Structure 1
Amino acid sequence: MDLFALPPLAALLDLTTQGLLALTALLSPVAGGAAAALAVLLVTVVVRAALIPVGVSQARAERDRARLAPRLRLLRERWGKNPERLQRETLQLYRDAGVSPTAGCLPVLAQAPVVGLLYAVFLHAQVGGHANALLAQTLSGVPLGTSLLAAVTGGTADARTLLLLCVVVAVIAGAGELTRRFLRPAQDPAAPAWTAWIVTTLPFTTAVVALFVPLAAGLYLAVTTVWTFGQRLILRRFYPIE
């Protein structure tokens, strides 16, 4: 079932498509054939700029959770054999300190609707009862609705397509590696081993997602991952993790 066939989501999809087309037409005199791609990039910048306060909140929460780490270790040592009591005491500690244990998820959750809409826009051949003109838009000759996995499995991946899509994925993976090296929080020695694996691999999950989504959504993900790294690097100076 296509969720975007439901009237509210169909209207939102149509509105998003028309908005991108209008922005593409506005940018065409300057960007030419890359106008649609530039429109996606501008949308990304606007979304990320709007989320700066959320990023500040995330940086503050990371600092506060780092300060609570010694007390959390003591709780695990005391109540490790009583999971229910450990959970209650942990949540109480967060409440007493005024720290949200889920604050780090806010930027991802806030962006999910935008990525989902971009993904849907470039997957639907028809939007609002008419042909989706955005699918005719390209970047360096590669349709914005093309995904790396679909191009490879469908046999339509020429050298230009592979190069451009691989560059997008490489930028995302590179931002993930920089995040892992410079912004990974100190690992709690008392934490389970699987948490270290999650912390190490999480920055690269966006690169995996980029293999499946259309080029337009991949451009959004590439810009937002680079933005996220730069923003967190700057905010770490104001909210250092000791």
Structure 2
Amino acid sequence: MGFLGDIGNFIMTPLYYVISVVLVGFHTLLGKVLPADGGMAWVLSIVGLTLVIRAALIPLFVKQIKSSRNMQLIQPKVKELQKKYGHDRERLAQETMKLYKDAGTNPFASCLPILLQMPIFFALFRLIDQAADGRAHGVLTEARAESFGGAELFGRIPIADTFLNADGHIGVMLLAAVLVVAMTATTFLTQRQLMSKNMPADALTGPYAQQQKMLLYVLPVVFAVGGIAFPIGVLFYWTTSNLWTMGQQFYVIRNNPAPGTPAFAAKQERDRAKAARKGEPVEATAVEAAPEPEERRPTQRQQPRKQTRQQRKSGGGQRPSGGRTEGGKQK
């Protein structure tokens, strides 16, 4: 147990410093306009921490979007493999993983942002929980730790309290319940937004679709059950992170949707309407721009080039190549 504890401390200690540096930085700025020991200054510092972390994860989010799009586009090929190797599960798994590798995608890429945030989430959880007992981590001094752990929102709702240990405090239970519902709803809506707007019809069936549907219903349940044990400060972090994800995903789906999806059709319609308002020529879609097939015409026979009398005399009476000799045969 001591060995595992040492490993945990080795991983968490750097996170304590990173999180505490950002928190203290925001709190120092907000303390100039808000009561430094008030819950609002600390809650807004947590929101600022969330925005910094999510901004740092933007490159990973872009990679996730590309991987998710590639997963959608290769679904027809996945179905072909299932038909071809459905009787051999081992061969099917090998060929499917090879297809994923060639396409530069990963079926678990959609989970990466959540997985990378979990250590930060637990570090913040522990930071708040232990600050409530006056224990400091990172660059938090004991005075700041006491201020952080004892901060009260609206003057009577401690941000270190949870729904479970509210001891009948109606304000704590009500705010925690609202944040748990918000956290659960934003998790569900974000995943639902991806499936309903940015997945082609071919991707709505098969193993990838089953994975997405599982996440659609499992993740909200996990957060709802676990949320009642999270401090209010941590609930603010996760709800803010979900709102960021929803807004970021909405922007990407609206402006750069995957081909063959409802979002792609909606973008084409907006582009046509915008061009019509500006009086610009409306670009045809791929289907409209495709030319109609031309009728096949019989190949015409090449006729021999006519020669002058002088050319015939100088050629010794020979006909040009491709001409006809007596009897109609080519020379």
Same-fold call, TM cutoff 0.5: yes
Q: How does 1:52-201 map to 2 (within 5 A)?
A: 52-124=58-130, 125=133, 126-127=135-136, 130=142, 132-133=145-146, 134-140=148-154, 141-151=156-166, 156-184=167-195, 185=199, 188-191=204-207, 195=211, 198-201=214-217
1:212 is paired with a residue whose SS is coil
AA partner of residue 13 (structure 1): Y
Instruction: Tell me, in whole angstroms, the C-alpha distance in 2 between the residues paired with 1:177 and 1:235.
Output: 18
Q: Which has the higher helix share?
A: 1
Instruction: Tell me, in whole angstroms, the C-alpha distance in 2 between the residues paired with 1:18 and 1:68.
Output: 43
**5+ long unaligned stretches in structure 1:** none
Query: How many Å apart are 1:107 and its aligned residue?
Result: 1.0
Deviations 1:159-201 (A, max 9, x none): 2112211121121122133224422246643449964751431
Query: How many Å apart are 1:96 and its aligned residue?
Result: 1.5
Single out whichever of 88-97 and 127-136 deviates more from structure 2.
127-136
AA partner of residue 112 (structure 1): M
Greater relative contact order (Cα < 8 A, sep 6+): 1
Single out whichever of 121-130 and 103-112 deviates more from structure 2.
121-130
Query: How many Å apart are 1:229 and its aligned residue?
Result: 1.1
Instruction: Tell me, in whole angstroms, the C-alpha distance in 2 between the residues paired with 1:229 and 1:48.
Output: 12
Larger radius of gyration: 2
Instruction: Tell me, in whole angstroms, the C-alpha distance in 1 between the residues paired with 2:224 and 2:86.
Output: 36
Equivalent of residue 49 in structure 2, options 43, 49, 54? 43
AA partner of residue 42 (structure 2): A
Q: Which residue of 2 aligns with 1:26?
A: 29
Change (3 A) 1:67 1:9: closer
Between the two proteins, what is the percent identity of the paired residues?
Answer: 28
**TM-score (normalizing by structure 1):** 0.84
**5+ long unaligned stretches in structure 2:** 261-331
Single out whichever of 85-94 and 166-175 deviates more from structure 2.
166-175
